[in-house]
Amino acid sequence: MKSLLLFGATGDLARRMLAPSLFGLDCDGLLPDDLRIVGAARSHLEQDAYRSLIEGALREFVEPDRLRPQCVAKFLDRVRYVPLDVTQPDQFLALRDALLRGEDGEKPADGLRIFLSTAPSLFGPTIAGLQSAGLTGDETRLALEKPLGHDLESSRAINDAVASVFPESRTFRIDHYLGKETVQNLLALRFGNALFEPLWNAQGIDHVQITVAEAVGVEGRLGFYDETGALRDMVQNHMLQLLALTAMEPPAHFDATSVRDEKVKVLRSLRPINHETAMTHTVIGQYGPGAVSGAPVKGYADELGRSSATETFVAIKAHVDNWRWRGIPFYLRTGKRLPTRSTEIFIQLKAVPHSIFAGPGAGLLPNKLIIRLQPEEAITLRVMLKEPGLDRAGMRLREAPLDISIPNAFADFRRRIAYERLLLDLLDGDSTLFVRRDEVEAQWAWIDAIRAGWAANGMTPRPYAAGTWGPSAAIGLTERDGVTWHD
Ligand code: NAP
């Protein structure tokens, strides 16, 4: 009998993502028959009450046509619950008993998989409790949700606590962006086609833009967000992972060591932004009142009920100092209460070296490759084509898209939640799409230097109206280089 032990099992992530993902896998017959899903959290719930909670989550977050009664019944049959306060070491014995005995006298779990979906401050006590209860044997794997600390030092402390019990090979750090199809498609696009790689360097590419724009505000996470800010919430993890996948060298193989070796080289090649360059290479903002999609919304400080120096927007001009990317800017931008929800990697290629299409109407523009992750998954290559007509004043060109909408191109495939992929990989022991310790720490080192640069320069967020693309200085950041943000 195998067990997936889920800490934080009554929480938002468990209800919204983890339970629906596990259900989706189960419904497609992808979970091992003998897998038991054991939820653990503080709430005192009977087994039936917990199963009702999970059933409610499935009804809320799974498409109704997927909720076939026999699938739901089969899934709920796998689910168990153990009430447990992880700060109380003695309570782990009850967990151990529940895992070892099971309800029907099965033998001890021979392949325990553990998923920590709790605040990171609970990781240390949880791991210590698991160890003292003998639940960290050689076969056990541990998955950890972000945030993995709030700076390099705290991240090291978490990583040390984990490493004292679980070797790196059995540690699975989640960045759910890596579970997204389009993120993996970036690898397929780059390394499965001869078309792009010859141009994928400083000779072929003019610059890269990575945008993660949210139309929503901080919603229910005010306390957490005010301690964190956009840089640590979005750039430190998701955006640097997107940058690393965009910029990395071809890995020797598509496996955990090869892919992560290449990513960490990129992260270590990021040019530090420090007290000398923080003012010129970063812009921070905080939204004030405004309107999003025509509806009036409050400013961040109004939502918080006090003024705050936390950034809800950040734009960065980054460089990867290596042979491939010498001199090529990577512009990163993320924020809340922007005009629209959009996540994309925008790659502008160099212009052709010489235009034969002389004349004012020629309209020759450089090619652009746009990899969109949200709201819809799509890959677009913008190419120059001839405008139809008789060209009495010379040939006129116009930009037109070669468009691949992933849902349309693969309409007969079900769209998966990123966590489905990651949970299945955890069960299978494949850590290719999980973040290695050296990556996380390289990410934090770069982020910490930026924050120190802000502090040294007394930088505080500039106001922007909700529903706009951040402070005007963010436009200046790229315009100085003759580059326009792709909105
Ligand atoms: P949440 O809704 O606040 O849930 C927290 C969970 O932790 C609950 O199940 C809670 O149990 C449990 N818990 C709290 N203290 C405990 C203790 N002393 N012993 C045992 N269990 C305890 O949080 P969440 O949104 O699910 O997020 C969980 C973690 O994932 C956080 O670190 C968050 O930053 C991260 N994360 C969340 C999301 C998301 O979309 N929600 C996305 C990415 C990362 P009781 O409710 O029973 O007390």
Of 149, 173, 197, the residue at which a domain comes to its end is: 173
Using pLDDT thresholds of 50, 70 and 90, give the confidence band for residue 392.
Answer: confident
What is the pLDDT at residue 395?
87
Q: How far apart are CA 243 and CA 320, in angstroms?
A: 9
Of 173, 190, 214, the residue at which a domain comes to its end is: 173
226 and 183, same structural domain?
Answer: yes
239 and 166, same structural domain?
Answer: no
Residue 234: strand, helix, or coil: helix
Within a domain: 157: yes
CB-CB contact of 242 with 210 (8 Å): yes
Within a domain: 212: yes
State the distance from the centre of ligand 1 to the C-alpha of 418, rounded, in angstroms: 19
Over residues 266-318, the pLDDT tens digits come to 999 999 999 999 999 999 999 999 999 889 999 999 999 999 999 999 999 99
Of 410, 420, 226, 403, the residue nearest 306 (C-alpha): 226
Of 121, 146, 173, the residue at which a domain comes to its end is: 173
411 and 305, same structural domain?
Answer: yes
CATH of the domain at 216: 3.30.360.10
Token pair 């909670």: residue: 53
Q: Is the pTM for the entire model greater than 0.85?
A: yes
pLDDT over 60 at 141, yes or no: yes
Q: How far apart are CA 163 and CA 71, in angstroms?
A: 38
What is the pLDDT at residue 393?
81
Average pLDDT over residues 183-187: 93
Within a domain: 191: yes
Within a domain: 86: yes
151-160, 173-182, 288-297, 355-364: which range is least confident on average?
A: 355-364
187 and 151, same structural domain?
Answer: no
Within a domain: 468: yes
105-119, 352-366, 447-461, 467-481: which range is least confident on average?
A: 105-119
CATH of the domain at 43: 3.40.50.720
Of 249, 304, 1, 7, the residue nearest 139 (C-alpha): 1
Tell me the pLDDT of the chain averaged across its residues.
94
Using pLDDT thresholds of 50, 70 and 90, give the confidence band for residue 99.
Answer: confident
State the distance from the centre of ligand 1 to the C-alpha of 43, rounded, in angstroms: 12
Within a domain: 487: no
Beta bridge partners of 374: 343
From 118, 176, 236, mutation site for ligand 1 pocket: most ligand atoms within 8 A of C-beta = 118
What is the pLDDT at residue 65?
92
| 486: annotated active-site residue | no
152 and 257, same structural domain?
Answer: no
163 and 189, same structural domain?
Answer: no
CB-CB contact of 366 with 216 (8 Å): no
pLDDT over 60 at 107, yes or no: no
pLDDT over 80 at 108, yes or no: no
Percent of the chain with pLDDT over 90: 86
The length of the chain is: 487
Boundaries of domain holding 394: 178-479
The maximal CA–CA distance of the chain, rounded, in angstroms, is 86
Structure tokens at 70: 């026999």
Domain count of the fold of the chain: 2
Using pLDDT thresholds of 50, 70 and 90, give the confidence band for residue 361.
Answer: low
pLDDT over 80 at 102, yes or no: no
From 6, 7, 10, 13, mutation site for ligand 1 pocket: most ligand atoms within 8 A of C-beta = 13
Among 238, 253, 319, 354, the one annotated catalytic? 238
Q: How far apart are CA 86 and CA 151, in angstroms?
A: 24
Using pLDDT thresholds of 50, 70 and 90, give the confidence band for residue 104.
Answer: low
Within a domain: 50: yes
348 and 435, same structural domain?
Answer: yes
158 and 187, same structural domain?
Answer: no
What is the pLDDT at residue 174?
97
Q: How far apart are CA 137 and CA 118, in angstroms?
A: 22
**Helical H segments across 209-255, by residue range:** 222-230, 240-247
DSSP output for 192-221: S-TTTGGGSSTTTEEEEEEEEE-SS--GGG
Q: How far apart are CA 483 and CA 415, in angstroms?
A: 35
pLDDT over 90 at 103, yes or no: no
CA-proximal residue: ligand 1, atom 15 (nearest): 42
